[in-house]
Structure 1
Amino acid sequence: MQVTETLKDGLKRGYEITLTASELDAKVMEKLAEAQPQVEMKGFRKGKVPMALLKKQFGARVMGEAMQESIDGAMSDHFKETGDRPALQPEVKMTNEDWKEGDDVVVSLNYEALPEIPETDLSGITLEKMVVKADDASVDEALGNLAASAQDFADKPEGEAAESGDQVVMDFVGKIDGEPFEGGAAEDYPLVLGSNSFIPGFEDQLIGAKADTEVAATVSFPEDYQAPHLAGKEAVFDCTIKAVKAPKAAEIDDELAKKFGADDLAALKSQIAERLEAEYASASRAVMKRNLLDRLDELVSFELPPTLVDAEAKQIAHQLWHDEHKDVEGHDHPEIEPTDEHVKLGERRVRLGLFLAELGQKNSIEVTDAEMTQAVMAQARQYPGQERQFFEFIQQNQQMQQQLRAPIFEDKVVDYVFELATVTEKEVSKDELQKAVEALDDED
């Protein structure tokens, strides 16, 4: 096996690998010898088929496998010897396409090598951590939101009409061609107008209704309605309105606290304060992480693989285009050409990504199985009722696993750098933290 360098330009590498015909033939014979003890053929006992006959019968079939294994082995040896790590999947191509048995095999190997990442002293980095305490006003605001979400309904003054957001309590009977149909009747049914929980158009016809009155609502069942015998048919619902109620926020008291799993109002306030401070801490960490990445971007410099930068710039341009054209859901649109700004941002992301990956590897930072399981569970909650299928999908999809693992790994490396850096705390208001978070979005 002969490996000859054909290109060395920056991080671009090119090699020609020659596998001689004799080497390939020896590999084929080796594989046939491995299989010989298990081969049965008419006229021969198991394992006693002559090698010449085996080669005639199975040589062509084994040839491709032997060729692939030899080239893979040569590439593996090459990367071990040179220490090169390809930035992306190497391009491997057979150059003598008119190859026939008895010829040498010549393969070109081209790739971009990952750069050497310089050692960087991180102990001199200084960072500021914004600290926000959950004040009484913030806790009271959150309590008010909880009370609103736990709203009740109270009778409106006699004679007042129902509005969107009100609740009507009614008896109703649905009829098609004057005949009641199964499942089309209920008594004392509470319906919030505007909730869209009934057939389209039904709730709109109850707006303006008053207690102790009757309303006939005419609707058409959708063509794709789940009950085939009702799909596409017109129905009339005779409704007797028993009460019209307006929404009323729940009282902020111990009873409200119990609805949310707390022993009393004081315990609920304490839980809210803890949750708010956890949210503030998460936002503060995001700000500090951005400041760290900005600092690393200034400190770290090395040559970048052009293909990685180009791919990242195109991805950024594509994503930003979709952000501006939210009406376009698919990818049936003109090719998006990256601007200089996209390329600059792509260079930053590639540089920081490679640096953090190298730092994590050198310091044995890994994503544990427990952390991956937790991440998968968090994603699975977005698919209620299909959690099992989601788990199986993730288990069978290496790319999805990597997409889940990458941000966890990055955050663990960032935490490692936080420990090395000098971090000072600064107590700020909620509004100051909010402005800092909004600034992050403006810079993206």
Structure 2
Amino acid sequence: MAANEELIAVAKEFGTPVYVYDANKIKEQYNKLTTAFEHTNAKFFYACKSLTNINILKYMHSLGANLDCVSIQEVKLGLKAGFAPEQIMFTPNCVDFEEIVEGKELNVHINIDNISILERFGNRFGNSYPVCIRLNPHIMAGGNYKISTGHIDSKFGISIHQLRHIERIVKSTGLHVNGLHMHTGSEIKDIGVFLTGLDVMLDVATRFPDIEFIDLGSGFKVPYQETDMETDVKTLGERIAETFDKYEQETGKKPDVWFEPGKYLVSESGDFIVKANVIKHTTATVFVGVNSGFNHLIRPMFYEAYHKIENLSNPHGADRIYTVVGNICETDTFAWDRKIAEVRESDFLVFRNAGAYGFEMSSNFNSRLKPAEVLLLDDKKLLIRKRDTFEDLLKNQVEVL
């Protein structure tokens, strides 16, 4: 996380709103994972849906990470960033079959999460191209129902209760299954979720002789508040190593274990800086109205996400209670009744933990311009995305009238 003085310098040089990413923090998080799982055959695939700026992808590649993609466009971005096809896992959901075929033609790992798509792939390609199967283990996990993906009502994965159906497809088409995958959600604090899921996956793996890897997804928790606990990846690494050692003793096989961290790698690296436009007193509330809105940071409105907010310009001011809102013509409340050092109009405020799903989910709602992005790397402040201009709002519109 960058120092406040450095963030103020970024705000003054590049303007606000602006997203700022600290490369050192990304590297620290990546090293924490590789150290925690050093006693397993672990590979880490950065879930790039959390932040796909091409410079972030290139930096992840330089660290030794692989890439997890959920759209064919992300796959192409990964290839452009320097990832080899074998370093890319493609896990689409509810896409046209031809998008999966395109992924196959690009030679990346294909992860299929639908019975009908599995059958179509097997009928078309037989055993000529290996696939991973995404299973739904029916494990409820995650910090919010909207980011839980392994429960019985989830659209993701093939139910473990449909294994006989999967086996029939594999037998009739000759499909080559080389991996099993699960992902139960985000913000998982209890490592037991991963261990329970691993037990399920290893049990299923005994039905498929050519399994090379078990992909446990991710969902590692990062702390947003001082009282938050993060996922104990060190203990999880030790427990998973023990489980795989036991499995090897019992079966003679030891598949790799794959993970797909996204938020865990980039969330804490990111700061989002805005400017206080107005201080508005009402009969019940004091509002801080900033020069942004849910068009730039939707997480608080979308799934009640908490972001710590600090006053960069007046960090030692007396604490006051504010409701922080944006400039969008909708309710776009970032925080209710939040204690912040006294805010004055034109002060710079910073939202912490904004590296994941911040810019990535931004929009031009209200015809507002998307913010710039800056990477802090080796004592340099690098502009990695220009701020939108008015012309950007019109560039794909076709004037016919």
Sort the TM-score into its range (normalised by shorter chain).
under 0.3
> RCO greater where, 1 or 2, for CA within 8 Å and sep 6 or more?
2
**TM-score for both structures, normalised by structure 2:** 0.21
Instruction: Give 1 or 2 for the bigger CA radius of gyration.
Output: 1
